[in-house]
A and B are shown apart, each in its own frame.
Chain A
Amino acid sequence: MLKLWSMKQEQQKADNATSGPKKKKVTAAQLRVQKDLSELSLGSTMKTTFPNPDDILNFVLTIEPDEGMYKGGRFSFNFAINQNFPHDPPKVKCKEKIYHPNIDLEGNVCLNILREDWKPVLNLNAVIVGLQFLFLEPNASDPLNKDAAEDLKSNREGFKRNVRAAMGGGSVRGESFERVLK
């Protein structure tokens, strides 16, 4: 057997090492989320809510855009992070029904870093910045809600009106929306 024990051990020994019955350790995913949370820059337009403060892997992010077409609305996103984070990206869904080219009526979000461009070196702040950007620059070329994307592409002013109508709790193209205006 490889003589592990006779080899030079550089680490601190004995007096520092823990012993006794092992207790559950804070997991690598929890540690990473803890670090990411401490580095969030939420500004005045965003806030987080933790339904269970002991569980930092599940929380809600609320965004209240203060400029752009969605100004004055309040949108919340469920963040569900698994123990394979940061290998796996967080799962993010919009809780309100929204008229947006990159968010479908079920709340699925088309944001590259939530899926194809996710890397373990990215953090939660990058995701939050990405979400914020979706409200400033809805993108008709990555459509998840095809109708909304067509609308934005063909008639920007008309799209804007439809966004306001949807946010006010009206209906657009036969689909009714809930009121999200503050």
Chain B
Amino acid sequence: MEEEFEESHRTVPKPKGMADPEARRWEYLRYILYRPGPWVPEEATQGTEAVKFLERMKVLVIGAGGLGCEILKNLALSGFKDIHVIDMDTIDVSNLNRQFLFRQADVGKYKAEVAAKFVMNRVKGVSIEAYCGKIQDKDESYYKQFNIIVCGLDSVEARRWINATLVDMVDLEDGDSIKPLVDGGTEGFKGQTRVIIPSFTACIECQLELNAPRAAVPLCTLATIPRQPQHCIEWAHIIAWEEERKGDTLDTDDPEHITWLYQKAAKRAAEFNITGVTYSMTQGVVKNIIPAIASTNAIIAASCCNEAFKIATAMNPSLGAPAEGENNYMMYSGDDGVYTYTYSYEKKEDCPVCGITAKKIEVDGEMYLRNFMDLLAEMPDAQLKKPTIRTEGQSLYYQAPASLEEATRHNLSKKLSELLSSGDEVAVSDPAYTIDFRFQLIFK
């Protein structure tokens, strides 16, 4: 085996200009891109073209925390040259143990900015543009510019948002509108890497049940028999705040708020003879910070970047590649030895995000809602006889519950043009179908 490898290794054309230190720096990466391996599809570009292609790839990294630091470093060291990063958080002292792109002097600064600067200094020729803010600040026109998106997030909500945005961007007439999403996640010794090819593979929403909500302690335990310092903090968070600071919206980034909770929790802990409540524990519990382990982050980030590299170069089959057995999910557990399992998570037909594409229908704006509903009942492919119908901002007609039926009934005798404008999307549910329907109404 070894000789064979040596043999094929020797047949690889040596990239030109090896005397050049910059070329020598990337020598081994280029072996991969210059050598046609067994998995390389015929149409894949190789050699200098492939290197250039990789360098032109625009990658967005979402999150510059534990996973994000690793991801940025790996992407830059893998030959990606045009990287963007989004994160809204600032650096906290407790991040320093594993978020290795940050130093003591960076505490309080934006993660995205510091991480971008560090990696750019370290890896010559890489450009990393940082955006310090929420992913929700940006719209389709922003996400459209990227070829690949790599997520290292700790929030289910943010994942669901970017997933819905990317699925929504898919335009079946434009291949460029399909943005592969590589999503990494870790929790303690466990983690997963999944690749979502919007509209091809299962999306994040299809897999929602996998995200086990965090283990919560019963409210009555918090209220009457706290046993652990965390119980006292949760009590301060859920019960004391509501009672004593009604109307004040808790901001988990506000030190005054955390201090208040910390003091409440400490007092309660003392009453129950519990020790161990600290300021940073308070912050951790309230912000729902999942204990992160540096090596789990490193393993998952490496796997994410491996997938991103394969997607970008087509040198080897990636997760989510529809032609290759459709594996799209890799779970990893380091709890007991090492265990990984790679499988295909099936797309859900009734997924509210990727299971339904809006169908465009032309209607007369002068038509009454009542008549539009008759039209739905007569549609050949789905006869919606008891439709409940809404837009994003408006309940147009609800069959149930009774109070909502009553409140929306008057809309039945309104014209469509009074209720919405041409191009608006409506979602329709009907008890006869487990899936919902979306229609974009275009006025004739």
Q: What is A's interface to B at a CB cutoff of 8 Å?
A: 1-9, 11-14, 16-28, 30-32, 34-35, 37-38, 40, 42, 47-50, 53-54, 56, 83-84, 86-89, 102, 104, 106, 108-110, 112, 114-116, 118-121, 142-144, 146, 149
Band of interface residues on B = 35 or more
A17 touches B352 (CB 8 A): no
Closest to B401 in A: A48
Closest to A116 in B: B216
Which residues in A have their C-beta under 8 angstroms from that of B425?
18, 23-26
Does B297 sit at the interface, judged by CB under 8 A? no
Question: How many angstroms between the C-alpha atoms of A16 and B172 in the bound complex?
Answer: 10
Question: How many angstroms between the C-alpha atoms of A143 and B224 in the bound complex?
Answer: 7
7 inter-chain pairs at a CB distance below 8 angstroms, sorted by A residue, are A12-B357, A24-B392, A27-B164, A28-B164, A34-B388, A108-B219, A120-B211
B394 touches A54 (CB 8 A): yes
Beyond A4-B322, A13-B173, A17-B357, 15 additional pairs, beta carbon < 8 A? A2-B311, A16-B357, A18-B359, A21-B423, A25-B164, A26-B425, A28-B205, A28-B353, A32-B352, A34-B429, A40-B400, A47-B402, A48-B404, A86-B208, A106-B242
Question: How many angstroms between the C-alpha atoms of A50 and B171 in the bound complex?
Answer: 37
**Top 10 A-B pairs ranked by shortest CB distance?**
A5-B175, A26-B427, A53-B407, A24-B392, A28-B352, A142-B220, A110-B220, A116-B216, A31-B352, A110-B219
Does B213 sit at the interface, judged by CB under 8 A? yes
Does B318 sit at the interface, judged by CB under 8 A? yes
Closest to A13 in B: B172
Which residues in B have their C-beta under 8 angstroms from that of A22?
140, 168
Measured CB to CB, the closest approach of chain B to A46, in angstroms, equals 9
A4 touches B440 (CB 8 A): no
Question: How many angstroms between the C-alpha atoms of A48 and B400 in the bound complex?
Answer: 10
Name the one of A3, A16, A23 contacting B359, with C-beta atoms under 8 angstroms.
Answer: A16
B408 touches A53 (CB 8 A): yes
Known interface pairs A7-B323, A22-B140. Does A56 touch B175 (Cβ–Cβ under 8 Å)?
no
B403 touches A108 (CB 8 A): no
Closest to A60 in B: B403
A116 touches B218 (CB 8 A): yes
Known interface pairs A26-B390, A26-B438, A30-B427. Does A42 touch B401 (Cβ–Cβ under 8 Å)?
yes
Chain B stretch 125-182: residues in CB contact (< 8 A) with chain A: 140, 147, 156-157, 160, 164, 168, 171-173, 175, 178, 180
Which residues in A have their C-beta under 8 angstroms from that of B259?
none
A1 touches B147 (CB 8 A): yes
B314 touches A143 (CB 8 A): no
Name the one of B43, B53, B404 contacting A53, with C-beta atoms under 8 angstroms.
Answer: B404
Which residues in A have their C-beta under 8 angstroms from that of B223?
104, 108, 110, 143-144, 146
Does B263 sit at the interface, judged by CB under 8 A? no
B352 touches A19 (CB 8 A): no
Chain B stretch 348-368: residues in CB contact (< 8 A) with chain A: 352-353, 357-360
Closest to A112 in B: B218
Closest to B54 in A: A1
Known interface pairs A16-B360, A47-B402, A50-B404. Does A31 touch B429 (Cβ–Cβ under 8 Å)?
yes
Does B289 sit at the interface, judged by CB under 8 A? no
Measured CB to CB, the closest approach of chain A to B398, in angstroms, equals 7
Question: How many angstroms between the C-alpha atoms of A22 and B147 in the bound complex?
Answer: 21
Measured CB to CB, the closest approach of chain B to A147, in angstroms, equals 10
Known interface pairs A14-B172, A37-B400, A106-B243. Does A50 touch B407 (Cβ–Cβ under 8 Å)?
yes
Name the one of B172, B424, B429 contacting A35, with C-beta atoms under 8 angstroms.
Answer: B429
B220 touches A4 (CB 8 A): no
Measured CB to CB, the closest approach of chain A to B76, in angstroms, equals 19
Closest to A142 in B: B220
B408 touches A118 (CB 8 A): no
Question: How many angstroms between the C-alpha atoms of A23 and B425 in the bound complex?
Answer: 7
Which residues in B have their C-beta under 8 angstroms from that of A6?
43
Which residues in B have their C-beta under 8 angstroms from that of A50?
403-404, 407
Measured CB to CB, the closest approach of chain B to A104, in angstroms, equals 7
B395 touches A54 (CB 8 A): yes
A4 touches B200 (CB 8 A): yes
A18 touches B357 (CB 8 A): yes
Closest to A34 in B: B429
A1 touches B312 (CB 8 A): yes
Chain B stretch 389-444: residues in CB contact (< 8 A) with chain A: 390-395, 398-404, 407-408, 423-427, 429, 431, 436, 438, 440
Known interface pairs A54-B394, A56-B404. Does A34 touch B156 (Cβ–Cβ under 8 Å)?
no
Question: How many angstroms between the C-alpha atoms of A86 and B438 in the bound complex?
Answer: 20
Measured CB to CB, the closest approach of chain A to B252, in angstroms, equals 15
B395 touches A56 (CB 8 A): yes
Does B71 sit at the interface, judged by CB under 8 A? no
B423 touches A20 (CB 8 A): yes
Closest to B321 in A: A2
Which residues in B have their C-beta under 8 angstroms from that of A18?
357-360, 425, 440
Does B215 sit at the interface, judged by CB under 8 A? yes
Question: How many angstroms between the C-alpha atoms of A89 and B238 in the bound complex?
Answer: 14
Measured CB to CB, the closest approach of chain B to A133, in angstroms, equals 15
Question: How many angstroms between the C-alpha atoms of A4 and B174 in the bound complex?
Answer: 11
Closest to A10 in B: B200
Known interface pairs A7-B323, A11-B172, A110-B218. Does A48 touch B160 (Cβ–Cβ under 8 Å)?
no
Does B301 sit at the interface, judged by CB under 8 A? no
Which residues in A have their C-beta under 8 angstroms from that of B243?
106
A35 touches B404 (CB 8 A): no
Known interface pairs A25-B438, A28-B160. Does A144 touch B208 (Cβ–Cβ under 8 Å)?
no
Known interface pairs A1-B53, A2-B311, A28-B205. Does A38 touch B399 (Cβ–Cβ under 8 Å)?
yes
Name the one of A2, A87, A102, A119 contacting B156, with C-beta atoms under 8 angstroms.
Answer: A87
